[in-house]
Amino acid sequence: MVTETALTLQNGATLHVYDTGPADGFPVVWHHGTPNIGAPPEPLFGAATRLGLRFVAYDRPGYGGSTPRPDRPVASAAFDVLALADALELDHYSVLGHSGGSPHALASAALHPDRVVAAVSIAGLAPFTVGGLEWFAGMYAGGQATLRAAAAGRAAKEAYEATEPPFDPQMFTPADHAALNGPWSWLNAVVGPAMQSGPAPLIDDDLAYVRPWGFDPADIRVPVLLLHGLHDRVVPATHSEWLAHHIPRAELRLTPDDGHLSILNHAESALEWIAART
């Protein structure tokens, strides 16, 4: 059972929140990818129950039922999560993000270490224009194009999205397609609703990724697990390798046969890693 509520923030904005319960489960705050709504990952509900964990989540601003917030930095997610946690009376929690959700999960780990006990980044991005990383290297062509447009500014990004770039199946590996048509077909249910109001929230996400995040991953002191598939064409594994080198307490797990979606087949092991630290 997933309970959905509208949380009113101090500035009057709405944050659409999801809670799977039970009240005595240790909270795992799910951070969704781009473009998704924030519904927590149904394929992991069974594992969460087995491990005594409780998924809570929210639609990032502009997605689903959450008020848009143009030009928000990645760091703003940490304060949205703090408001969510206070409203649900969660003293401590862990964070778990996939793809574009991963930087947002790391924001909480960096900025609220008194509340976050552990963080997991699955197929996540590294900060833009950092030393020691060729940020675009290994990305499929469409991914490079959309993020280069974001790097050129809002006007360029909006113009790019106005061309309605077609879906490129080459962004995913055969293992990704198998996951999307099998155990992770649930992803289809969170992409469509995310785009119902147009590309604005996706644009805000991409702009946030290529601007200063508002925190330094090197400041993260809580335990961090980084999962990444070596065949990822959306976010190359070199991003997690960079993060592992710069986050003091990071553990890196690279899988040789996975891409951007099939890496989620290992997400249950990430929940086990969280449970061992809570």
User: What pLDDT is attached to residue 260?
Assistant: 98
Q: Which domains does the chain have, with CATH numbers?
A: 2-276 (3.40.50.1820)
User: What pLDDT is attached to residue 169?
Assistant: 86
Both tokens of residue 88?
A: 């649900």
Instruction: Select from 97, 86, 94 the least CA-distant residue to 53.
Output: 94
pLDDT tens per residue across span 196-216: 889 999 999 999 999 999 999
Rounded distance, CA 106 to CA 119, Å? 7
Both tokens of residue 204?
A: 């805000």
User: What pLDDT is attached to residue 177?
Assistant: 97
| No. of helices (H) and no. of strands (E), the chain | 10, 8
Q: Are 227 and 270 in contact (CB under 8 A)?
A: yes
Rounded distance, CA 51 to CA 26, Å? 9
User: What pLDDT is attached to residue 125?
Assistant: 98
Low-confidence ranges of the chain (pLDDT < 70): none
pTM of the model: 0.97
User: What pLDDT is attached to residue 197?
Assistant: 82
Residues 6+ apart with CB under 8 A from 25: 48, 52, 53, 54
Using DSSP's 3-state secondary structure scheme, residue 19 falls into: strand
Rounded distance, CA 269 to CA 116, Å? 19
Rounded distance, CA 69 to CA 103, Å? 17
Both tokens of residue 41?
A: 């990952």
Q: Which residue has the tokens 């929690």?
A: 93
Q: How far apart are the first and last CA of the chain?
A: 23
Q: Which residue has the tokens 């929230």?
A: 201
Instruction: Select from 16, 104, 9, 6 the least CA-distant residue to 66.
Output: 16
User: What pLDDT is attached to residue 200?
Assistant: 97
Rounded distance, CA 62 to CA 58, Å? 11
Strand order in 224-229's β-sheet?
Answer: 3-8, 14-19, 53-58, 26-31, 93-98, 116-122, 224-229, 250-255
Rounded distance, CA 114 to CA 16, Å? 24
User: What pLDDT is attached to residue 1?
Assistant: 87
User: What pLDDT is attached to residue 164?
Assistant: 74
